[in-house]
Homo-oligomer: A and B are copies of this chain.
Amino acid sequence: MSLHQLLSELATPAVLLDKRRLQANCERMTARAREANVQLRPHLKTAKCAEVAALATAGQPGGVTVSTLAELQYFFDAGYSDLTYAVGIVPGKMGAIEKLMEQGARIRVVLDSVEAVEALAERPVHQNVAVSVPVLIEIDCGGHRAGVSPQSEQLLAIAERIVAAPGLVLDGVLTHAGHAYHANDMASRTAIAIAERDAAVLAAQRLRAAGHDCPTVSIGSTPTALTDIPLDGVTEIRPGVYVFFDLAQAALGVCDIDDIAVSVLATVIGHHREAGHLLIDAGALALSKDVSASEFHEHVGYGLVCDLDGLPLPGMYVADAHQEHGFVKNVNGMPDFERFPVGTRLRVLPNHACMTVAPYDAYHVIDGQSLQKWSKATGW
Contacts and interface: CB of A to CB of B under 8 A. Distances in A.
Contact of A269 (B90, B268, B289, B358): B90
Contacts of A140: 272
A90 B68 CA distance: 37
A81 interface: no
Interface stretch (A51-59, A110-118, A192-200, A223-231): A110-118
Interface residues of A, number: 66
Contacts of A285: 355, 358
Q: How many copies does the complex hold?
A: 2
A318 to B, nearest CB: 13
A162 interface: no
Interface stretch (A202-210, A250-258, A273-281, A306-314): A273-281
A320 B29 CA distance: 29
A274 to B, nearest CB: 7
Interface of A: 8-9, 11-14, 45, 67-69, 87-93, 96, 111-113, 115-116, 119, 138, 140, 144-147, 149, 178, 267-272, 274-275, 279, 281, 284-286, 288-291, 322-325, 327, 341-343, 354-355, 358-361, 378-380
- Closest 9 interchain pairs by CB? A88-B269, A289-B289, A88-B270, A144-B275, A67-B324, A359-B359, A116-B342, A90-B343, A146-B270
28 contacts: A11-B93, A12-B92, A12-B380, A13-B380, A14-B380, A45-B323, A45-B324, A68-B324, A88-B270, A90-B268, A113-B270, A113-B271, A119-B342, A138-B270, A144-B274, A145-B275, A145-B322, A146-B272, A149-B274, A285-B355, A286-B380, A289-B289, A289-B355, A358-B359, A359-B359, A359-B378, A361-B378, A378-B379
A269 B87 contact: yes
Contacts of A355: 284-285, 289, 323
A112 B268 CA distance: 13
Contacts of A359: 358-359, 378-379
